Amino acid sequence: MAQWRRVIDTNLDSMFNMTRHVIEGMRQRRFGRIVNVSSINGRKGQAGQCNYAAAKAGILGFTKSLALENAAHGITVNAVAPGYCDTAMVAAVKPELLRTIVAGIPVGRLGTPAEIARMVAFLADDDAGFITGATFDVNGGQYLA
């Protein structure tokens, strides 16, 4: 139970707590960009990671609902669902499992944090005003929704 709670707190509750502190100011200004970070595992699930997949899937539902609630206020809310990237978390995976993961990525490699950041920056840009409630998969083709 403690592990479940820790993962939900880290990935879902933290997003809610951050959003509630900025949303009113955005409404008053009639402008805002919120970009939430989910995961490929929130889109497709992952054996052995029910807590993580549930938290990341929850981010997607939160994103869609918040987008609907705030579009008329000039606020866009979107999500990015990264695939496996070259990060410390992925580096901790056993090498044989990591080889299997990379073999399942059509582009043949892990993503980079910079590639994810470029998608986030695009969605945060003033020019992204007609995009809201969407989830963008940045995963090298590993999961196609």
Residue 1 pLDDT greater than 90, yes or no: no
Count the domains in the chain: 1
pLDDT per position as a tens digit, 27-58: 999 999 999 999 999 999 988 889 999 999 99
Q: Is residue 143 part of a domain?
A: no
Instruction: Give the pLDDT confidence score for residue 57 in this predicted structure.
Output: 97
Give yes or no: 84 in active site.
no
The residue to which tokens 């899937």 are assigned: 57
Q: Which two tokens stand for residue 145?
A: 């929704």
Annotated catalytic residue, options 15, 39, 40, 52: 52
Residue 14 belongs to what domain range? 2-138
Task: For the chain, give the mean pLDDT.
Answer: 96
pTM above 0.85, yes or no: yes
Burial class (CB in 10 A: 0-12, 13-18, 19+), 6: exposed
Q: What is the CATH number of the domain that holds 38?
A: 3.40.50.720
Task: Check: CB of residue 55 under 8 Å from CB of residue 8.
Answer: yes
User: What is the rounded CA–CA span in Å between residue 76 and residue 100?
Assistant: 37
